[in-house]
A = this chain, B = another copy of it.
Amino acid sequence: MWCGVALHLQGCILKNSDISSLVRMIDRFAIHAQISSGDREALLELPYTLRSFEAGSYLMRDGDAPHQCGLIISGLAYRHKVSGEGQRQIVAIQLPGEVFDLQQLYVAAADHNVQTLTRCEIAIISHRALRKIAAERPAVAHAFFATMIAELSMTREWMLNIGRRDARTRLAHFLCEFAARLDRQGCPPGQAYELPMTQEQLGDALGLTAVHINRTLRGLVQDGLVEHDKRGVTIPDWGLLVREADFNSRYLHIGAFDNA
């Protein structure tokens, strides 16, 4: 299922680049959540295992008893559920650096699947270790809680998107959200990014068919709202697309947590 060597942060060989990206991510998390440097150190010293996964690997399966979480160092993953009829709904995209996958931390059986979208480097950490640090360090628990709030908010907006917007607006909104979130993660801002999803996956994310995604996307391209070659997306006029998409980034709570 996964290839690559398991490397422990503690007393184990690790490429410099891996260490530094882990540090960078936890630092971003720390700033975001305003945790102390002691908390930051403790987070860094947890027993991570670094693994590499091929595109399409399952990180978690619906029904499994989950015992570990992942922090995406590089690559993209997605969460999905499938209905009794075999219809798939993608319920979230997970970007690199979006802290820990905490969604099943206290749950006996997973209620959805997580699968990699591209090749991924993931720092794996046991639930036990995360529960322990959350119990010992209130600020870390607080930060974990805040990330769950952000996830929930994003999921609500997706629901509005799927339930109440037409295909064109829906797709435009998705493209805006992707750009805004990449932006926040410190990727080169806004105008152009790689979107490593097939049209079928886009359809599954937006509650549409691949065919209709195709037509809708071509519509957006034809009207000059986005450019699009292979898996690359570029947005020539951000304001224009935002208006078309009915997009307002407030629900992402970027840098807007109340830590008092």
Contact = CB atoms under 8 A, between A and B. Distances in A.
Given A145-B144, A153-B111, A257-B106, A164 B250 contact: no
Interface stretch (A6-14, A16-24, A48-56, A79-87): A79-87
Given A163-B207, A251-B111, A258-B106, A135 B145 contact: no
A250 B149 contact: no
A259 B106 contact: yes
Copies of this polypeptide in the complex: 2
A131 to B, nearest CB: 8
Interface in A81-96: 81-85, 87-89, 91-92
Interface string A101-141: 01111111101100000000000000000010011101001
B148 A149 contact: yes
Contacts of A158: 159
A44 interface: no
A177 to B, nearest CB: 13
Contacts of A88: 164
A155 interface: yes
A200 interface: no
Interface of A: 63, 65, 79, 81-85, 87-89, 91-92, 102-109, 111-112, 131, 134-136, 138, 141-142, 144-146, 148-149, 151-153, 155-160, 162-165, 206-207, 246, 250-251, 253, 256-259
